[in-house]
Structure 1
């Protein structure tokens, strides 16, 4: 492993030696290997690529050319419109409800967009807003996906998982489906239930044995309940609508979600980049594929090397797991009293004594696509060459910025 990482560092350094830091890179061999592994784990069910975990148009196009990958899960309607207009996909599911009136006006004014994009809803209020933008008789039908809350509620107010849709039971799903199909100007075509407490929560957090056992126990009990409830909810919704697809899962639950007969497709994206949060999974760990390099600018003391920048912190609960990880050369770590800083980051460890101003340290981000919010381009590394390609930000789009 040490030799493999050292070889990776040398290859990244050679490929990007002509570039100034900070520089972001995606190792295409690792990216493609992860895409292939995810296809195997999906057991024949198509994978919809989650764009928020990639945020590079060329890489979305690359993975969609592979067998087993079909369609995009976007994170805003404006992004979905851009992806359709730029030819990335003609099948885009917006994973979160939208209240973007400008984007809704554009969607409802274009029959091609309305046919290609499915928006997420979990209440009639979302339909009311669409109607205020463009009345039903003055637009093509708007495609809808009903979101079922996949969290686990074992007793009383106890809630395990993220808080997404208010629709939790099969009865609630069926009742909402009945109301949706009764509304003119809309077509209910899909359903989604994302099990974040399974797909997005690693069951082997490093150095946290008690937490790991608790997570595994929760997941063992939560998964059977979800499978039963999701299947019942899909049946209830299908009584009112002929669903084209039922989406679920993510990188962290690929095999378990694929085994659910009510699911017709799975979403995944983080597994393509292999960020550090996925080092905490037992079932499958992607090959690290995305990195960023910073330059050493000073040596303030023995066993300390300071790089310029570095504080690219991931979203989610504040804690060490959301910090980036100094990965190459191996053996570096943050100072506990400083962490990853906005403009400078001191790194400690014996290997720091070998670093000099101008040397590079390669980091891995805790999450996948968020890396791309910090750079205008990533360099796609193939062997010893690096090809620049723009991120969303580099193309002038910050859809949640």
Structure 2
């Protein structure tokens, strides 16, 4: 089936699902196609080759979807993006295995963690500096509750003085990693249980972009070099830390790097989240075929001319570098485009392209967000679709009253 036909069928299917719903659903109307979600999950598990996938909750932000992923074969545990979020997921009973992917300085959340033996047993904090431990200790009244700790180690590519990849941890050299590991292990009230090495320059960069053949070839070469360099460093880090503690996990990777990540013997689990929903930025990878699963619908509110259709709202811009690829993508019906002078606006978004002429006031246009979880920050409810039916409306973090 061609992409054009598939997107037209999606347009008809989602419109049918909305028309059959008994309520008048307000826009932006966010839907998740469960058939595509489950197919993406099965593909991620296949690519992981038996190593468990830790669900990156930042890319979902809907407890029901996190639980759905965890119930599927190949998935185990959550990689949270804040400690407060981890505490909420633990309280909701989503899982008892949560790793916080970034250091936390949330003193209120840390006070809750050190006061709760059950939460402390389920949640692992991420650190890359002794100062992070100092903040935890400042919230204690005793050291009776042991805090689980993992080390975030920089996984960027080093080429001379150049650093390619996310600017995360100051830890790079295995000797420095070992020194911090020993300091954690020696400190009363803490237990070293894991390591994370996120190679964003491999996992998060498209490498098969249409019309950018030369750039894509350079990206693929940089990825190959990075994977080779990382394999050596991860082995050295694992050897150093094996003398310090018996680690429970060595986490790495992301949706765009599953195969190369799990091929590394040092890695025991891979993180993934965006690959479940496949936002716009995840379209052009050699390693997997995208099945978009999350969409937001807006209604045509104006017809400024016979060749333009203006929808109400639409300015759901993704974080990151300020570029065109951070804008939402008009997806169904196919052939619609943002216009350069207005783009995706807070209150209105004009669209051009051949389908604009056939759209009428009140018609739905379906968009894809550039990123995965950020879409759900804009709505209280995500509507789950199977076939031509909305089977359930589930609360987002925002719908539960949380802003992490």
1:12 aligns with: 14
3-state SS of 1:222 partner: helix
User: Deviation at 1:208?
Assistant: 2.4
Aligned partners of 2:327 and 2:179: how far apart in 1?
43
3-state SS of 1:331 partner: coil
1:218-297 correspondence runs (5 A): 218-297=222-301
2:325 aligns with: 321
Aligned partners of 2:360 and 2:402: how far apart in 1?
37
1:373-392 correspondence runs (5 A): 373-386=377-390, 387-392=392-397
1:356 aligns with: 360
1:78 aligns with: 84
For the pair 1:50 / 2:56, whether they are aligned, the reply is yes
User: Deviation at 1:171?
Assistant: 1.3
Residue of 50, 70, 74 corresponding to 1:64 = 70
**1:63–1:69: 8 Å Cα contact kept in structure 2?**
yes
- TM-score by length of structure 2 reads 0.97
Aligned partners of 2:379 and 2:147: how far apart in 1?
35
For the pair 1:140 / 2:145, whether they are aligned, the reply is yes
1:23 aligns with: 29
Residue of 208, 215, 240 corresponding to 1:204 = 208
User: Deviation at 1:144?
Assistant: 0.1
User: Deviation at 1:67?
Assistant: 1.3
Number of residues of Structure 1 aligned to a counterpart in Structure 2: 397
3-state SS of 2:67 partner: helix
For the pair 1:216 / 2:214, whether they are aligned, the reply is no
**Cα deviation digits, residues 128-155 of structure 1 (max 9, x gap):** 11111105x4431100001110001110
**Cα deviation digits, residues 271-302 of structure 1 (max 9, x gap):** 11010111121111331000000011111123
1:151 aligns with: 156
Task: List, as ranges, runs of 4+ consecutive aligned residues in structure 1 with deviation greater than 6 Å.
Answer: none
Residue of 381, 384, 401 corresponding to 1:396 = 401
User: Deviation at 1:384?
Assistant: 1.8
User: Deviation at 1:209?
Assistant: 2.6
Instruction: State the superposition RMSD in angstroms.
Output: 1.0
User: Deviation at 1:176?
Assistant: 1.1
User: Deviation at 1:213?
Assistant: 2.1
Aligned partners of 2:398 and 2:209: how far apart in 1?
32
Aligned partners of 1:116 and 1:107: how far apart in 2?
10
**Cα deviation digits, residues 102-128 of structure 1 (max 9, x gap):** 101100101000100000000111111
Aligned partners of 2:387 and 2:93: how far apart in 1?
28
Aligned partners of 1:154 and 1:162: how far apart in 2?
14
User: Deviation at 1:231?
Assistant: 1.4
For the pair 1:178 / 2:170, whether they are aligned, the reply is no
| Larger deviation, residues 9-18 vs 257-266 | 9-18
Aligned partners of 1:180 and 1:51: how far apart in 2?
26
For the pair 1:112 / 2:118, whether they are aligned, the reply is yes
2:96 aligns with: 90
Aligned partners of 1:167 and 1:13: how far apart in 2?
50
User: Deviation at 1:205?
Assistant: 2.8
Aligned partners of 1:205 and 1:176: how far apart in 2?
40
**2:17–2:388: 8 Å Cα contact kept in structure 1?**
yes
- TM-score by length of structure 1 reads 0.97
**2:308–2:356: 8 Å Cα contact kept in structure 1?**
yes
Aligned partners of 1:178 and 1:278: how far apart in 2?
38
**Cα deviation digits, residues 233-284 of structure 1 (max 9, x gap):** 1111111011001100010000110101000011000011010111121111
